[in-house]
Amino acid sequence: MRRLTMKRAIGLSTRRALGCAIAAVTFGAVGAAHAETVGAGSKPVTMQVALATKLPSLHNVRWLADSSGVVATRSEPEVPGETIESWSLSGAHESLGSGQFAAPSPDGRWIAFLDGKHWALRERSSGKVTPLGEEGAFAPTVLNTPRWSRDSRYVGIVDILRQPDAPFVPPAEVKDGVRFVDVGAVADGALRAAEDRSRITLIDVRHPQEWRSHLVPEWLAYYGDWGPNGQFYFVAISSWRGDTPTYTVLRRIDARTMGVTEIYRMPNAVMQGAAPRVSPDGKSIALAWDIDTKRWDDFNSLILVDAKTGAVKRLTQKQYVAAASYSWAPDGRSLYFIARHGGLDQVYQVTMDGEVRQLSSGDRRHFDLTLSPDGRWLSYQTEDGNSRKDVRIRSTRDGTERVVTVLSDVSGDYRLAGFKHVKWRSTDGLDIYGYVFTPPDFDPKRKYPLYVDVHGGGPAARLYLSGPLSLAISNTPLEWHAWATLGYVVFVPDMRSSGEYSPTVAAQRYGSRDWDWTGMQKDVEDIESGTRWMIEQGYIDPQRVAVFGHSAGGGRVNLLLTRSSLYHAGIIHDGIQPGALGVMLAFMSGRNTGSGFNEIYLSNGQRIADNPQAFLGGFMFDGYKSHTPTLIMVGNQDKGAVETQSAEVLFTTLRMYHVPARMLRYPDEGHNPLTAASALHRFGEIKAWLEKYIPMPGSATP
């Protein structure tokens, strides 16, 4: 999605960490917990296993009208299409046919869903399918299920009108026998071709072939919700490109007249991605919104907007609220929501007075939260570091939890690594989370090589439970188990720019007024302080420490290796540009020539004309400061990889200064490996690099 591309493109820079971290949890617990987390199976986890373990997924779990169970769409690995399936509270399972984005109506009669290129209604009693509206030329891009009006009369659909990706062909002109290209015209045409548009479609189910749409004038709209009396609320986001003002706005549409009313607008804000949830009495709209920096979703809080006046009330202060993760209690006195927790998100409840209570716990990520219509049950999906995924329900009365269905659990087949959620204290006292995977035969008295894996995503990108090489293929954490099986302790650190570490972090970044637009310098301190903390645990060989970084993580590893001598091997995988200069060159040249970019938005409110130094800084030419053997891997820009100019400069510089370096291009793929063969090749190259520069005990030293 474009949002991820943008975040990857503008994530940048960092400085050497100062001092050692103070342990926030004792890692002696890993040894004790290890026996509980290692799988009971006997087969080892290899990278081949990690790539072949393609797990089913559920999308958009929603409650049936009578609160007797849930319905969701299920996708199976390497099987085209998705199916609509339901589970009762006792776990009884039923398949309801093919489709996506299933949404049961409040009266229990219908399920609205996407059937290929068009929307449709399935009658629960008979199974009869009725098309909704018109069929488009292409399947729409959708982020959420349709929303039903409270009386089940209307279906509200928010979708994004997109053409299939295709290269823009520059229109060559011929004059007096000479071919030439008008570069400005090419840029304007490319911008027009790339612009997405969103629409809000409201359909009266009594007349399913009739429909009325509102084409959103802004860049994108993601989510919507119904209030009483046929009022549909949605959030629109203006484009960040060019020199037009950016903003995010909450509006409502009257289903009878299609009249549009603006409720609340936040100037300069973009990429909020907020999902409106209207209170039972229709007086307030809940939104996950960055109310502090008012720009990006750096730290989302739960806010209430008055439906009449647009007045804003903040409910949460300390939790990063996940988008579209919140539901009103039936009495309107509280909201249930998901908040980030170092990659393992948890369930919370907040009252209208701002009192917050954590409901879930444990080393699991909770997501896809919904409340049953009768208010008695919360449902959510969970996943952990051992590739177990399931759907659970929790009583809102006494907090009892039970599993409705298990989607995947490989622990009976494979001997898994130990998995632990950890926290350490960074250089300035901020506590940062991360994951640690230990070898299946882990002995805390031994010395192990350390493999540090720095995640991508840039600002506000959460720590996730998927290995970077296998992300687009199997989407599990088993890649890290494969490294642990080879004898490495794997450390997956988070960093403060991922967003959940208080609004102050983003405020400091926006206030820097220098080249470090996305806080890379402080992120590097977090990564290095976490590495030092790992070494302090006593079972890491400080002479055998490697660091890997993908995408935004690759940019941070690039900076880290020019500032720190702690690492003995480095791997940069399709890393982002090294600071403001690299970003500016990428956005103002090559395929982007003439397109321009929003300098105010990308640079914390600065213009090149006012502060040129802020656009020229970074570490693009700092490779000479690194003494770490570095493996660089890049993809094809035409297929979605990061612009390779910065990687080329780094590789050239390392060779000039006689630092061992190797650079590999993958011309058939973009930002991530898309085939098992490609992922295995990269895994093998990394493994060979580690064996050469941080060899296992007893192996030959290069």
pLDDT, tens digit, for every residue of 516-536?
988 999 999 999 999 999 999
Strand order in the sheet with 301-306: 277-278, 284-289, 301-306, 312-314
Judged against a pLDDT cut of 80, whether residue 34 lies above it is answered with no
SS3 content of the chain, % helix, strand, coil (to 5): 20, 35, 45
CB neighbours of residue 528 within 10 Å: 28
Percent of the chain with pLDDT over 70: 90
CA 387 distance to own-chain centroid: 18
The pLDDT, as a whole number, for residue 510 is 84
Average pLDDT, the chain: 88
* Whole-angstrom distance, CA of residue 675 vs CA of residue 677: 5
Helix (H, G, I), strand (E, B) or coil at 2: helix
Cβ-defined contacts of 190-198 (< 8 Å, 24+): 190/591, 190/595, 191/241, 191/242, 191/595, 193/163, 193/168, 194/168, 195/219, 195/239, 196/2, 196/141, 196/160, 196/161, 196/162, 196/220, 197/160, 197/161, 198/158, 198/159, 198/160, 198/161, 198/222, 198/236
Q: What is the DSSP letter of 31?
A: H
Predicted confidence at residue 3, as pLDDT, reads 35
pLDDT in tens, 663-689: 999 999 999 999 999 999 999 999 999
Res. 192 pLDDT band, cuts 50 70 90: low
Q: How many CB atoms lie within 10 A of CB 524?
A: 28
Q: Which residues of 437-463 are buried (b: 16+ CB within 10 A; e: fewer)?
A: bbbbebeeeeebbbbbbbbbbbbbbbb
In the predicted model, is pLDDT for residue 211 greater than 90?
no
pLDDT at 241: 66
Predicted pLDDT at 644: 93
* Most confident option among 71-80, 468-477, 682-691, 692-701: 682-691
Q: How far apart are CA 519 and CA 610, in angstroms?
A: 21
- Residue 244: what pLDDT? 72
**What CA–CA distance (Å, rounded) separates 286 from 32?**
43
pLDDT, position 385: 96
Q: What is the pLDDT of residue 242?
A: 62
* Selection from 660, 629, 666 nearest residue 548 by Cα: 629
Residue 101 clears pLDDT 90, i.e. is over it = yes
- Residue 174 C-alpha from the chain's centroid: 46
The angle subtended at Cα 509 by Cα 633 and Cα 354, nearest 5°, is 115
Closest C-alpha among 87, 124, 90, 91 to residue 105: 124
Cα separation, 567 vs 562, whole angstroms? 11
Residues 542-565: tens digit of each pLDDT: 999 999 999 999 999 999 999 999
| Residue 398 CA to its chain's centroid (Å) | 32
pLDDT digits (tens, 9 = 90+) for 579-623: 999 988 888 888 788 876 778 777 777 888 988 888 899 999 999
Is the CB of residue 155 less than 8 Å from the CB of residue 202? yes
Structure token digits, residue 350: 């907040």
Residues in the chain: 702
DSSP 224: E
User: Of 547, 548, 594, 596, whose CA–CA distance to 568 is shortest?
Assistant: 547
Domain locations in the chain?
Answer: 2-52+412-573+608-693
Contact partners, residue 94, CB within 8 Å, separation at least 6: 85, 86, 87
- Rounded alpha-carbon distances, angstroms, from residue 370 to 235, 285, 387, 463, 656: 20, 17, 23, 22, 57
Following CA atoms 223, 228, 230, 232 in sequence, which dihedral angle do they give, to the nearest 10 degrees? -20
- Write down the pLDDT at residue 73: 94
* Lowest mean pLDDT across 264-273, 285-294, 338-347: 264-273
Predicted pLDDT of residue 12: 25
Based on C-alpha coordinates, what's the Rg of the chain?
A: 26
The CA-based angle 287-60-373, given to 5 degrees, is: 70
For residues 181 and 217, is the Cβ–Cβ distance under 8 A?
Answer: no
The CATH number of the domain covering residues in 2-52+412-573+608-693: 3.40.50.1820
The Cβ of residue 681 has, within 10 Å, a number of other Cβ atoms equal to 16
Choice among 112-121, 149-158, 375-384, 617-626 with the minimum mean pLDDT: 112-121
Specify the 3-state DSSP secondary structure of 453. Answer: strand
Containing H/E element for 676? helix 676-693
pLDDT at 31: 36
Confidence of residue 52 (pLDDT cuts 50, 70, 90): very high
How would you class 517 by CB atoms within 10 Å of its CB: exposed for 0-12, middle for 13-18, buried for 19 or more?
A: buried
Q: What is the pLDDT of residue 512?
A: 81
Residue 17 CA, chain-centre distance (Å), reads 26
Query: How confident is residue 627, by pLDDT bands cut at 50, 70 and 90?
Result: very high
Task: Give 494 or 135, the one with higher predicted confidence.
Answer: 494
Higher pLDDT, 187 or 424: 424
pLDDT of residue 175: 86
Instruction: Check residues 334 and 96 and name the one with the higher pLDDT.
Output: 334
User: pLDDT value at position 1?
Assistant: 31
**DSSP H helical segments within 63-206, as ranges?**
183-194
Strands of the sheet containing 154-161, edge to edge, are 147-148, 154-161, 197-204, 212-215
For residue 631, name the pLDDT band (cuts at 50, 70, 90).
very high
Share of the chain above pLDDT 90, in %: 67
For 190-194, 379-383, 541-545, 636-640, which range has the lowest pLDDT when averaged over its residues?
190-194
**Structure tokens belonging to residue 308:** 């009449």
pTM: 0.90
More confident residue, 15 or 284: 284
* 623-to-209, 550, 597 alpha-carbon distances in Å: 62, 18, 27
Strands across the sheet with 540-550, in order?
22-23, 418-425, 431-438, 489-493, 448-454, 540-550, 569-573, 630-634, 661-665
Other Cβ atoms closer than 10 A to 347 = 24
Q: Which of 42-51, 194-203, 426-435, 692-701 has the lowest mean pLDDT?
A: 692-701
pLDDT confidence of residue 469: 96
Amino acid at 518: T
Query: What is the reported pLDDT for 132?
Result: 86
The pLDDT tens digits of the residues spanning 430-467 come to 999 999 999 999 999 999 999 999 999 888 899 999 99
In tens, the pLDDT along 154-167 reads 999 998 876 655 55
Which pLDDT score is estimated for 29?
A: 36
Residue 358 has, within 13 A of its CA and on its CB side, a CA count of: 12
The Cβ-side half-sphere exposure at 100, using a 13 Å CA radius, reads: 18
pLDDT at 37: 54
The kind and range of the H/E element at 627 are none
- 316 and 325 Cβ atoms separated by less than 8 Å: no
Tell me the residue ranges of DSSP E strands in 396-517: 401-408, 414-415, 418-425, 431-438, 448-454, 489-493
pLDDT band at 475 (very low <50, low <70, confident <90, very high): confident
Which residues fall within 8 angstroms of residue 211, CB to CB, at 6 or more apart? 132, 133, 134, 201, 202, 203
CB of 574 within 8 A of CB of 643?
A: no
Position 7 confidence tier, pLDDT thresholds 50, 70, 90: very low
At 194, is the pLDDT very low, low, confident or very high (cuts 50, 70, 90)? Answer: low
pLDDT at 170: 61
> What's residue 224's pLDDT?
95
Instruction: Give me the pLDDT at residue 163, please.
Output: 61
Judge whether residue 507 has pLDDT over 60. yes
Q: How many CB atoms lie within 10 A of CB 407?
A: 17
Contact partners, residue 272, CB within 8 Å, separation at least 6: 235, 237, 248, 266, 288, 289, 290, 297, 300
Residue 481 has pLDDT above 80, yes or no: yes
- CB contact at 8 A, 372 and 379: yes
pLDDT tier at 657, thresholds 50, 70, 90: very high
Which tokens belong to 295?
């720009």
Kindly write down the DSSP assignment for every residue of 65-85, as one continuous string: TTSSEEEEEEE-TT--S-EEE
